[in-house]
Amino acid sequence: MKNLLKKSFCVYFLLFGCFVLIIIKNRFSKGKNTVYSESRPLMGTIATITVYGIEEKKAKEVIDSAFKAMEKIEKLCSRFLPESDVSRINKSSGILPVPVSDETFEIVEKSIFYSKLTDGAFDITIAPIVELWQIGKKSQRIPSDSEIADTLNLVSYKEVLLNPQRKTIFLKKKGMKIDLGGVAKGYANDQAISTLKKFGVKQALIDFGGQISVLGKPHNKKNWRIGIQHPRELNRTIAAIEIKSGSVATSGDYMRYFTGADGIRYHHIFDPKTGKPAKSGCSSVTVVAPDGITADILSTSIFVLGPNKGLALVEKLPNVECLIVKEEGGIVTSSKLKFFSF
């Protein structure tokens, strides 16, 4: 009897031990494997934030904060919201300098830095040309050469005056305008990532209209694998690249375009030197960089520069890699990019 009691006590203890272990294990693995994702419309596209390893309530909270950080950038940078920093800068061109938020100042300052680096291939003062062509709108059209020439008088990053002490921006010529469409999404990605970091998130992925930023390592894998859209067969992936961190942005002639009666594809990435859609031999340019704003600016810039000048520039920049799908077909990449083509 005594033996029997001893035995059942042991069994009970063992079972209890197992039970405790299972609870601990479940709690641990639940936290570790949890994936929570949310999408919202933003800047005319869709943004999706995915966080890993956080229970649902907290995940919802941090994702909401990250979206708010992104929405703030939209409110500051939109050309269509009358009270945005960009609208106020544009309305005051040729009149007076406009005080702006730290975020807008940083975006414009970085944009001008890259205008100088790319010899004007990237130029946020392209806005009057964007408005002239109206690509992607019902009113899209091919303007005359004289209209283009007149409008180009208003395009020059050299006429943007920044005052870092006062945090003001002044467009020197009346009628000048800026358009942050080639840079704001990348900056918004960065704002979202830094918000997630502030909340202690260790692992996350942001997909903002095709620009991807990652935080930490992916679950059970060494690298994040990012697919690159085929620029002519839209349900196909043409290649994939692997990254450990940072951001991947793609600029392409397939995203917003129309085909003219002349058979030419008129797309939304303009060469500031000609005032026409860039024809430099690229169908798409994907850039990997340590942060979103750099990847976004450079993908647009390299699209304008073309494969030769574009790759030469990338080779000079630390921690930046690039993959170009050429207009004639075929892929060229910077020397250190790890990629798989399909």
Which residues contact ligand AMP by CB under 6 A?
122-124, 126, 130, 179, 181-182, 251, 268-270, 272, 296, 299-300, 304
Where are the extended beta strands (E) located within 112-197?
160-163, 168-171
Q: Residue 129 corresponds to which tokens in the numbers above?
A: 């040309």
Residue with smallest beta-carbon separation from ligand AMP: 181
- Residue 118 interacts with Mg ion (CB under 5 A): yes or no: no
Closest residue to Mg ion: CB criterion = 300
Q: Which is nearer to Mg ion, 111 or 300 (CB)?
A: 300
Among 53, 128, 182, 231, indicate the residue that binds Mg ion (CB under 5 A).
182
Q: Which does 196 bind (CB under 5 to 8 A by kind): Mg ion, ligand AMP, none?
A: none
Closest to Mg ion by CB, 291 or 296:
296
The smaller minimum CB distance to ligand AMP, of residues 155 and 201, is found at 155
First to last CA, the chain: 72
Neighbours of 53 (CB within 10 A): 18
What is the closest distance, in whole angstroms, from the C-beta atom of residue 168 to Mg ion in the complex?
25
Burial label for 232, CB within 10 Å (0-12, 13-18, 19+), is: middle
Q: What is the rounded radius of gyration, in angstroms, for the C-alpha atoms of the chain?
A: 25
Question: What's the closest the beta carbon of residue 179 comes to ligand AMP, in angstroms?
Answer: 5
Separation of alpha carbons 193 and 247, rounded Å: 10
Given candidates 85, 271, 296, 327, which one binds Mg ion under the rule CB under 5 A?
296
Do residues 282 and 312 lie in contact, with contact meaning Cβ atoms separated by under 8 Å?
no
Are 241 and 339 in contact by the 8 Å Cβ rule? The answer is: yes
The residue among 203 and 251 lying less far from ligand AMP, judged by its C-beta, is: 251
The CA distances from residue 54 to 28, 40, 49, 129, 219, in Å, are 11, 20, 13, 46, 13
From the list ligand AMP, Mg ion, none, partner contacted by residue 179 (C-beta under 5 to 8 A by kind): ligand AMP
CB of 75 to ligand AMP, least distance (A): 17
Q: Which does 277 bind (CB under 5 to 8 A by kind): Mg ion, ligand AMP, none?
A: none
Cβ 296 to Mg ion, closest distance in Å? 4
Under rule CB under 5 A, residue 300 binds Mg ion: yes
Question: Which helix (H) or strand (E) segment is 317 a member of?
Answer: none
Give the residue from 170, 151, 139 showing the smallest Cα distance to 276.
151
* Interface contacts to Mg ion, rule CB under 5 A: 182, 296, 299-300
